[in-house]
Amino acid sequence: MKNGTVIFLKGVTVFIGVVIAICCIWPLPNLAREAAELNPEFAYLRIPVLAGIYMTAVPFYFALYQAFHLLTLIEKEYAFSEWAVKTLGNIKVCAGAIIGLYAIGTAGLFILNALHPGIALIGGGIMFTTLVIFFFAAVLQELLSSALKIKSENDLTV
């Protein structure tokens, strides 16, 4: 991969992190406050729902850091290393954590009969996207692990 491409991907990774941080700081609390004002019967859920969303930000940012680390490994030509396999595994674990947290939150809102169809669609979209990332990271991790095995076998035969 050319150095310019890796730098561009690193920039995109940082940009995504900054945009999500800005959304968590300004629009999200305002949207929660407006939703509580429009639906006073569910106003008691404002803080727990915000806390749940903020809890999912922790594995998201860790996965983003791991993606940045993986790009650094690619840049330094260590793409085929155990570190890269471990990094992909960490991304997979983070994706699983995000799916689990959103599933628990969605189930909790459903049990409380407070799950609005729009919220269910957004949560489902986030879970589906994260599931795709989970499987993609798992496949890449397995492929990279297999490639490392073949590489080590070839090194032993030479």
* pTM: predicted TM-score of the whole model, two decimal places: 0.93
* pLDDT tens, N- to C-terminus, the chain (158 residues): 678 999 999 999 999 999 999 999 999 999 999 999 999 999 999 999 999 999 999 999 999 999 999 999 999 999 999 999 999 999 999 999 999 999 999 999 999 999 999 999 999 999 999 999 999 999 999 999 999 999 888 888 85
Distance CA 6, CA 157 (A): 33
**Domain range holding 14?**
3-157
Domain count, the chain: 1
